[in-house]
Amino acid sequence: MSGDAFKKVEGGFQLACAYILGLSACLMLAGIILREAFGISFDFISDFTVWLTVWAMFLIFGPLLGERAHIAIGFLIEKVQGKTRLTIDFFNALCILLYAVAMAYGAIVSLHFLFTHNVVYPRYIPIPMWIVQLCVPVGFLIFAAYAVGEIYKLVKRTRGKQA
């Protein structure tokens, strides 16, 4: 996939996450209005707002890593240059990749348990927990893909400096 097409897909993905977050905010507002104005409260409205917020945040982690918008200790990295900087960046990217893979694996194991044991949230409408928690392995796998991309960029940059 070309870089321009990838950027369009990534922008669309970020926009979808923004819409999910907006939908969550609208549901939360509707829940507050129903509860305060009409005295009606549905537990699933509160649940959906939390779940949609979590979904949006987990899915956006990867693209934020690609834009280097994640939390980092920048003042240390900015002070060093050359091979030391590349080494620190590579170590950071490798730690991020290992963390993402470990979390994705743990989430997949947890998801498998929830699916095989048919665990549900006991609400008006029983909602399988695996559907809600599917965002965790998906989000961390996207995060891992961006971490691999970051390592690839660092290796490419390192080879460019050696040539």
Contact 154, 86 (CB under 8 A): yes
Instruction: Identify the pLDDT of residue 1.
Output: 56
Mean pLDDT of 61-66: 74
Give buried/exposed letters for 118-150 (b at 16+ CB in 10 A, else e). Answer: eeeeeeeeebebbebbbbbbbbbbbbbebbeeb
Diameter of the chain measured on Cα atoms: 70
Pairing of strands 127-128, 120-121: antiparallel
Q: Which of 100, 50, 102, 83 is nearest to 154 (CA)?
A: 83
Q: What is the pLDDT of residues 123-134, one digit of tens each?
A: 777 888 898 889
Which DSSP string do the residues of 22-67 spell out, in sequence order? HHHHHHHHHHHHHHHHH----HHHHHHHHHHHHHHHHHHHHHHHHT
Q: Is 66 exposed, middle or buried (CB count within 10 Å of its CB: 0-12, 13-18, 19+)?
A: buried
Report the C-alpha gap between 64 and 146 in whole angstroms: 9
- What is the rounded CA–CA span in Å between residue 30 and residue 50? 14
**What are 79-109's pLDDT values in tens digits?**
777 788 788 888 888 998 999 999 999 999 9
How would residue 75 be classed by pLDDT, with cut points 50, 70 and 90? low
CA distance 114 to 33: 34
Q: For 1-52, what is each residue's pLDDT tens digit?
A: 566 887 888 888 888 888 998 999 999 999 889 889 998 887 778 888 888 8
